[in-house]
Every structure is written in C-alpha cells, then in structure tokens.
Amino acid sequence: MILGRIIEKVSGLSYATFLAERIFKPAHMTASLLDRPEDIVPNRAQGYDDFTGVVRNASYIEPSLVGSAGAVLTTASDLLAWDRVLYTNSLLSTHSKQEMFKARTKNNFGYGWVSDELFGHKRVRHGGAIAGFIAEFARYIDMDATIIVLNNTISGEPNCDMADALAAILFGVDEAPSLADRRDFSRNW
C-alpha cells in the first residue's frame, strides 16, 4: 500500500490512472482495472469461500482499503499479456527486471516476486488471495513458460499446488512437491 502512495506522489496521478496509462494500456491489458465498487464490470466474477464445507459468498472487502495491495481486477489473458511484456524492455529495463526478480530474503522474496527453482527451471512467481479469490502466477523464465491459476473460491488450498502440478506435467515430472514439503512462507498466503 505504501508503494501505491509513492507511485501517486511521484507520478502526480491516481494509482488507478497510473496503472491504466503506464501499465495496462502499453501492455495491451484491455480487461484490467483497479476495483472500485461504483464501477459496473461486465462478467465480473463473484468470490466464494467454503472454509466450513458449505460454499457461500465471500465477505465483502472495500477495495479502497486494499488499494495497491490487491484491488486489481484482471484476467488470465491480461496476465499473459503482462508476462509477454516482461520479456521485453518496453516498460521495464533489463536492470529493473533483474532487481525486481532478485531474491532479497531467506525465503527468496524480492520486489513482489519469489525467485526460486522448480524441477530444475528458474521460476519467478507471485501468489495472492483476498476474500473469495486466490491467484498464482508462475513464470519459468528460462523456458518462456507461464502458468496462471485464477480461482474465485477459497477453500484453504493455495493455488500454488495446482500451478506446481501443471508445471510437473509441463516438465514431464512424475509428481509435484506436496505442500508439507514446502518451507517457503509466502506460498501459504
């Protein structure tokens, strides 16, 4: 949230306008926007949870309280467009991307991305969750392969399990690591 305020201060634009003009438009992310409750968004997904074993509507969270920490509405297609832009220098320089993906903590967390290796391939990933929604975005940058998992039901199982299982199929590995084998705190949102 602090980064969002810094962006507003430095750019002189609202966070929503900054994203629209400087990220979404140049990256051709035509379905992405900052969530605002007054906007009518065609085909907006409803979030659900089933923590109790019964599927129900997820609790409402005012998007302005989340701000730059997770109030973006997007699609898998737009995330793929973002992935494609990250292979170029049209929005970020090579140096900026290296800094963004560099592991800075013992848990391999950098500037918004976890940098690690899975099945012998360098991976940068980011997962997220908010009431009724969970996402995993894993980029295998040495293979130019991306796995995006978006889910509108939270049940306690992180999407990284599905993303890792898909990566196992992609790389011809018999079995993905189990959640119990993981030591990375950021995977357990």
The pLDDT of residue 68: 86
- The model carries a pTM of 0.86
Instruction: Give the structural domain span for 111.
Output: 46-187
Give mean pLDDT, residues 74-101. 96
Write out pLDDT tens, residues 98-138.
999 999 999 999 898 999 999 999 999 999 888 899 999 99
Which of 63-77, 114-128, 132-146 bottoms out in mean pLDDT, i.e. has the lowest? 63-77
Contact criterion met (CB below 8 Å) for 151 and 159: yes
Q: Is residue 3 one of the residues assigned to a domain?
A: no
The model's confidence at residue 180, banded by pLDDT at 50, 70 and 90, is: very low
Q: Is 170 inside any structural domain?
A: yes
Specify the residue for token string 């992180």: 158
Mean pLDDT of all residues belonging to the chain: 88
In a domain, 20, yes or no: no
178, part of any domain: yes
Between 57 and 161, the more confident residue is: 57
Kindly provide the b/e burial profile for residues 110-148, where b requires at least 16 CB atoms within 10 angstroms of the residue's own CB.
beebbbbebbebebbbebeebebbbbbbbbbbeeebbbb
- 106 within some domain: yes
Instruction: Judge whether 164 lies within some domain.
Output: yes
**Cβ atoms of residues 128 and 135 within 8 Å:** yes
Asked whether residue 65 is domain-assigned, the answer is yes
Percentage of residues of the chain with pLDDT beyond 90: 64
Query: Is residue 125 situated within a structural domain?
Result: yes
User: What whole-number distance in Å separates Cα of residue 135 and Cα of residue 149?
Assistant: 6
Cβ neighbours of 152 (radius 10 Å): 15
Of 78, 85, 91, nearest in space to 148 by CA: 78
3-state secondary structure 2-48: HHHHHHHHHHCCCHHHHHHHHHHCCCCCCCCEECCCCCCCCCCCCCE
CATH number of residue 127's parent domain: 3.40.710.10
What mean pLDDT comes out for the span 70-84? 94
- The count of domains in the chain is 1
pLDDT in tens, 163-175: 999 999 999 998 6
